[in-house]
Structure 1
Amino acid sequence: MADRAYRAAAPDDLRSEALGALTLLFDRRSMQTHLVTQPMPEILAAMAGDRCNAALVAERLAAGFDLGGGGDDPKPLIAERLAELAAMGLVTEA
Protein backbone atom coordinates (compact mmCIF):
# COMPACT_ATOMS: atom_id res chain seq x y z
CA MET A 1 0.00 0.00 0.00
CA ALA A 2 1.30 3.44 -0.90
CA ASP A 3 2.17 5.86 1.88
CA ARG A 4 -0.68 8.37 1.60
CA ALA A 5 0.08 12.04 2.01
CA TYR A 6 -2.07 14.31 4.16
CA ARG A 7 -2.29 17.98 5.02
CA ALA A 8 -3.34 19.11 8.50
CA ALA A 9 -5.91 21.80 9.09
CA ALA A 10 -4.45 25.28 9.34
CA PRO A 11 -3.45 26.16 12.91
CA ASP A 12 -6.04 28.95 12.97
CA ASP A 13 -8.77 26.40 12.18
CA LEU A 14 -8.11 24.36 15.34
CA ARG A 15 -8.24 25.37 18.97
CA SER A 16 -6.36 23.01 21.27
CA GLU A 17 -6.80 22.70 25.03
CA ALA A 18 -4.78 20.20 27.05
CA LEU A 19 -6.68 18.38 29.79
CA GLY A 20 -4.05 16.25 31.48
CA ALA A 21 -3.36 13.27 29.23
CA LEU A 22 -6.20 14.27 26.88
CA THR A 23 -6.48 17.13 24.42
CA LEU A 24 -9.65 18.84 23.21
CA LEU A 25 -9.47 19.95 19.60
CA PHE A 26 -12.17 22.34 18.44
CA ASP A 27 -12.42 22.48 14.66
CA ARG A 28 -13.72 25.94 13.77
CA ARG A 29 -14.56 24.78 10.23
CA SER A 30 -16.95 21.99 11.24
CA MET A 31 -17.81 23.36 14.71
CA GLN A 32 -16.96 19.92 16.13
CA THR A 33 -14.94 19.16 19.23
CA HIS A 34 -12.71 16.09 19.26
CA LEU A 35 -11.22 14.47 22.35
CA VAL A 36 -7.84 12.93 21.50
CA THR A 37 -4.82 11.53 23.26
CA GLN A 38 -1.17 11.16 22.36
CA PRO A 39 0.14 11.01 19.69
CA MET A 40 -2.63 12.86 17.82
CA PRO A 41 -1.72 16.43 18.91
CA GLU A 42 1.97 15.69 18.36
CA ILE A 43 1.28 14.38 14.86
CA LEU A 44 -0.72 17.49 13.96
CA ALA A 45 2.08 19.71 15.30
CA ALA A 46 4.71 17.72 13.39
CA MET A 47 2.79 18.19 10.16
CA ALA A 48 3.03 21.99 10.54
CA GLY A 49 0.66 22.61 7.65
CA ASP A 50 2.92 20.78 5.19
CA ARG A 51 2.00 17.90 2.91
CA CYS A 52 3.19 14.86 4.90
CA ASN A 53 3.15 11.11 4.71
CA ALA A 54 3.75 8.70 7.60
CA ALA A 55 7.49 8.51 6.88
CA LEU A 56 7.92 12.29 7.06
CA VAL A 57 5.82 12.55 10.23
CA ALA A 58 7.88 9.74 11.81
CA GLU A 59 11.09 11.54 10.89
CA ARG A 60 9.86 14.81 12.40
CA LEU A 61 8.58 13.12 15.57
CA ALA A 62 11.85 11.21 16.00
CA ALA A 63 13.66 14.54 16.22
CA GLY A 64 11.86 15.37 19.46
CA PHE A 65 10.60 12.07 20.88
CA ASP A 66 11.92 8.59 21.54
CA LEU A 67 9.93 6.45 19.11
CA GLY A 68 11.05 3.22 20.67
CA GLY A 69 14.14 2.49 18.60
CA GLY A 70 13.68 -1.20 19.43
CA GLY A 71 13.56 -2.16 15.79
CA ASP A 72 9.82 -1.56 15.41
CA ASP A 73 9.00 0.67 12.45
CA PRO A 74 6.68 3.47 13.68
CA LYS A 75 5.43 4.31 10.17
CA PRO A 76 2.53 1.79 10.09
CA LEU A 77 1.21 3.08 13.42
CA ILE A 78 1.56 6.69 12.30
CA ALA A 79 -0.21 5.83 9.03
CA GLU A 80 -3.10 4.40 11.09
CA ARG A 81 -3.27 7.56 13.22
CA LEU A 82 -3.23 9.73 10.07
CA ALA A 83 -6.18 7.73 8.69
CA GLU A 84 -8.02 8.28 11.99
CA LEU A 85 -7.32 12.02 11.84
CA ALA A 86 -8.64 12.03 8.27
CA ALA A 87 -11.82 10.27 9.39
CA MET A 88 -12.29 13.05 11.97
CA GLY A 89 -11.72 15.69 9.30
CA LEU A 90 -8.61 17.10 11.01
CA VAL A 91 -6.37 16.20 8.07
CA THR A 92 -7.19 15.78 4.40
CA GLU A 93 -5.53 13.68 1.74
CA ALA A 94 -3.18 15.84 -0.25
Structure 2
Amino acid sequence: MTLYRAAAPDTLRIVPLDALTLVYHRASGITHIVDTPVPEILETLAVEPLSAPDLLARLAKTFDLVDADPLALAVRLDELAAVGLVERLCAI
Protein backbone atom coordinates (compact mmCIF):
# COMPACT_ATOMS: atom_id res chain seq x y z
CA MET A 1 0.00 0.00 0.00
CA THR A 2 1.26 3.47 -0.85
CA LEU A 3 1.06 6.28 1.66
CA TYR A 4 1.35 9.94 0.77
CA ARG A 5 2.62 12.88 2.78
CA ALA A 6 3.03 16.55 2.02
CA ALA A 7 6.53 17.83 1.37
CA ALA A 8 8.31 19.03 4.51
CA PRO A 9 6.64 22.16 5.88
CA ASP A 10 9.90 24.12 5.74
CA THR A 11 10.05 23.55 1.97
CA LEU A 12 6.59 24.98 1.27
CA ARG A 13 5.23 28.50 1.54
CA ILE A 14 1.45 28.45 1.09
CA VAL A 15 -0.37 31.74 0.51
CA PRO A 16 -4.14 31.97 -0.12
CA LEU A 17 -4.95 34.51 -2.82
CA ASP A 18 -8.67 35.02 -3.35
CA ALA A 19 -10.07 31.81 -4.87
CA LEU A 20 -6.61 30.44 -5.70
CA THR A 21 -3.62 29.50 -3.57
CA LEU A 22 0.07 30.07 -4.28
CA VAL A 23 2.41 27.29 -3.21
CA TYR A 24 6.09 28.17 -3.35
CA HIS A 25 8.23 25.02 -3.33
CA ARG A 26 11.66 26.06 -2.03
CA ALA A 27 13.37 22.86 -3.19
CA SER A 28 12.53 23.52 -6.84
CA GLY A 29 12.17 27.30 -6.73
CA ILE A 30 8.80 27.01 -8.45
CA THR A 31 5.60 28.76 -7.42
CA HIS A 32 2.49 26.72 -8.19
CA ILE A 33 -0.91 28.38 -8.60
CA VAL A 34 -3.46 25.87 -7.37
CA ASP A 35 -7.16 25.58 -6.68
CA THR A 36 -9.28 23.34 -4.51
CA PRO A 37 -8.63 20.55 -3.53
CA VAL A 38 -4.83 20.98 -3.61
CA PRO A 39 -4.54 23.21 -0.52
CA GLU A 40 -6.85 20.84 1.35
CA ILE A 41 -4.79 17.82 0.26
CA LEU A 42 -1.55 19.47 1.40
CA GLU A 43 -3.09 20.53 4.71
CA THR A 44 -4.39 17.03 5.41
CA LEU A 45 -1.17 15.27 4.40
CA ALA A 46 0.90 17.66 6.53
CA VAL A 47 -0.64 16.11 9.65
CA GLU A 48 0.18 12.47 8.86
CA PRO A 49 0.88 10.20 5.89
CA LEU A 50 -2.28 8.61 4.49
CA SER A 51 -3.26 6.14 1.80
CA ALA A 52 -5.39 7.50 -1.04
CA PRO A 53 -8.62 5.92 0.33
CA ASP A 54 -7.93 7.28 3.83
CA LEU A 55 -7.10 10.70 2.42
CA LEU A 56 -10.33 10.72 0.42
CA ALA A 57 -12.34 9.82 3.53
CA ARG A 58 -10.59 12.48 5.60
CA LEU A 59 -11.12 15.15 2.93
CA ALA A 60 -14.77 14.21 2.56
CA LYS A 61 -15.31 14.47 6.31
CA THR A 62 -13.19 17.54 7.06
CA PHE A 63 -14.13 19.65 4.05
CA ASP A 64 -17.67 18.36 3.44
CA LEU A 65 -16.85 17.06 -0.03
CA VAL A 66 -19.75 15.54 -1.88
CA ASP A 67 -19.28 13.02 -4.69
CA ALA A 68 -15.56 12.62 -3.96
CA ASP A 69 -13.96 10.78 -6.89
CA PRO A 70 -11.21 8.26 -6.02
CA LEU A 71 -9.82 8.29 -9.57
CA ALA A 72 -9.60 12.09 -9.64
CA LEU A 73 -7.76 12.03 -6.31
CA ALA A 74 -5.31 9.41 -7.59
CA VAL A 75 -4.57 11.55 -10.66
CA ARG A 76 -4.10 14.65 -8.49
CA LEU A 77 -1.76 12.81 -6.10
CA ASP A 78 0.33 11.65 -9.09
CA GLU A 79 0.55 15.25 -10.33
CA LEU A 80 1.52 16.56 -6.90
CA ALA A 81 4.15 13.84 -6.49
CA ALA A 82 5.59 14.62 -9.92
CA VAL A 83 6.23 18.26 -8.94
CA GLY A 84 7.49 17.41 -5.44
CA LEU A 85 4.64 18.82 -3.36
CA VAL A 86 3.67 15.34 -2.16
CA GLU A 87 5.91 12.35 -1.43
CA ARG A 88 5.04 8.70 -1.97
CA LEU A 89 5.94 6.33 0.86
CA CYS A 90 5.81 2.55 0.79
CA ALA A 91 4.01 1.02 3.74
CA ILE A 92 4.38 -2.56 4.82
**1:22 has 2:36 as partner:** no
Which residue pairs with 1:91 in the alignment? Answer: 86
Structure 1 counterpart of 2:11, from 10, 13, 18: 13
Which residue pairs with 2:71 in the alignment? Answer: 76
Does structure 2 conserve the Cα–Cα contact (< 8 Å) formed by 1:85 and 1:91?
A: yes
Which residue pairs with 1:32 in the alignment? Answer: 30
More helix by share: 2
Compute the TM-score of the two structures, normalised by the length of structure 2. Answer: 0.83
Structure 2 counterpart of 1:44, from 35, 42, 60: 42
Compute the TM-score of the two structures, normalised by the length of structure 1. Answer: 0.81
Task: Count matched residues.
Answer: 89
Q: Name structure 2 gaps, 5 residues minimum.
A: none
Identity of aligned residues (%): 48
User: C-alpha root-mean-square deviation of aligned residues, in Å?
Assistant: 1.7
